[in-house]
Chains A and B, each alone.
Chain A
Amino acid sequence: MACAIVLLLTPALVQAHGLEGDRFFPPTPLTDDPFAVDELSLPLVQYNPAGASNEVDITASLSKEIFPKFALTLSDTYINLNPKGGPAEDGWSNVGFNAKYQLWEIPDHEFILSIGSDITLGGTGSKGISNNPSVSPNSPLGYDYFTTYTPNLYLGKGFNELPDCLKFLRPLAITTVTGYDLYANAAQSNALEWSGSLQYSIPYLQEHVEDVGIPRPFRDMIPLVEWQMTTPTNKDAVPTTGTINPGILWEGKYCQISAEVSVPINSASGPAVGGLIQCQVFIDDLFPKIFGHPIFGSDETTSDK
């Protein structure tokens, strides 16, 4: 009876989003983080100048943990194309789904490995937005009539094991996503998608390595570099295309704001530097009764104290 009363009085604790040991892995704009948790990206705005047209993409996505360590994501992008010398074109891209499972975690080593898959449903985008697969097989130009399946491997690792002589590098962490685009269209060349981020967490420096007295708002910032690459696996296809994206991320109490510039790695990737801004809302902090825990089962039910 006493045990039952204690259990009833013990609050169901809500696990922090994106934490592995001491490390907080923030959701970054271009590299899907390895955590299967509740997240709301509202919005991601990207500006991509191109030779024939300029493009602005506004993406929204919502992730919900269904079972412990397993989450589903729904996302879509509103695209505005401004062709030089032609009328502007607006519309929705194909609807995207993602399923992700946290397979292996070693908190003491700030390590996480997850698996998952993206599914972009062909034919669900606006008909007015045209795609040009000869430029990039995964160009975010919207409408494809075929569905794309992308099995993914997600990794996150902090640099916490560096020796004392390199302790100021311990705030570094890396995340990667490696996926393989499988198109439901035999004419389309499949492609390897590989993206990642290298982050230097000033909060980690202050909270876990050495309090060097950095004041807010700089104390809540994470400088980072992201890369986002596509390598077609058809030997006759275009070379690897992609961007290198240096930027900065600011962690607020209820949201995170990031800004990056996008530098094409070659002429096939674009003629000029673009940019992006993202607002990530911590919905589990804002509405803990609804978000921050799986629909079925629980991540953690009692305190360890």
Chain B
Amino acid sequence: MRSFLTLIFTLAGLSLAEAHAFLDHADPKVGSTVSGSPAQVKAWYTEELEPAFSKIQVFDASGKEVDSKDVKVDPTDKALMTVSLPKLAAGTYQVKWSAVAVDTHHTTGTFTFTVTAP
């Protein structure tokens, strides 16, 4: 169908674009429990991201941001966004992400992971 629409709209002088960036998977996994503090949160998306307008934040149970505020979109895999973490105490942490795909579509989302003592 996309080929057909591409043909139609190319003939009309228009071009197809990319879609919304939704979370594909993450490390730590969504809703998972990990033993020991992870070094970073990695989030893979369904589309390549616009680095200047995409971010991940990690909050502890009291709502305090605990990540190192060094969000990066991987230059070799622009669908991968990471943020570093200091050593986290045992507890449940909320990840809030905001992703802007290269076509400027904006999506947001949250998930949690739990850290236990190693």
Contact = CB atoms under 8 A, between A and B. Distances in A.
Contact of B30 (A209, A253, A254, A304): A209
Contacts, number: 92
Contacts of B30: 206-211
Contact of B22 (A207, A284, A303, A304): A207
A83 interface: no
Contacts of A206: 25, 30
A211 B30 CA distance: 5
B16 A287 contact: yes
Interface residues of A, number: 32
Given A207-B30, A211-B31, A292 B105 contact: yes
Interface in A250-305: 253-255, 282, 284-290, 292, 300, 303-305
Contacts of A210: 29-32
B17 A305 contact: no
Contacts of A304: 98
A289 B14 contact: yes
A282 B19 CA distance: 9
A11 B105 contact: no
Nearest to A14: B105
A interface SS class: loop
A254 B50 contact: no
Q: Give the interface residue-count category, chain B.
A: 35 or more
B1 interface: yes
A305 B1 contact: no
B105 A208 contact: no
Contacts of A211: 25-26, 29-32
Interface stretch (B59-67, B83-91, B107-115): B107-115
Contacts of B17: 285-289
B112 to A, nearest CB: 9
19 contacts: A14-B103, A14-B106, A15-B106, A203-B22, A207-B23, A207-B111, A210-B30, A210-B32, A211-B30, A255-B1, A285-B18, A285-B20, A286-B2, A287-B14, A288-B17, A288-B105, A290-B14, A303-B52, A303-B53
B56 to A, nearest CB: 11
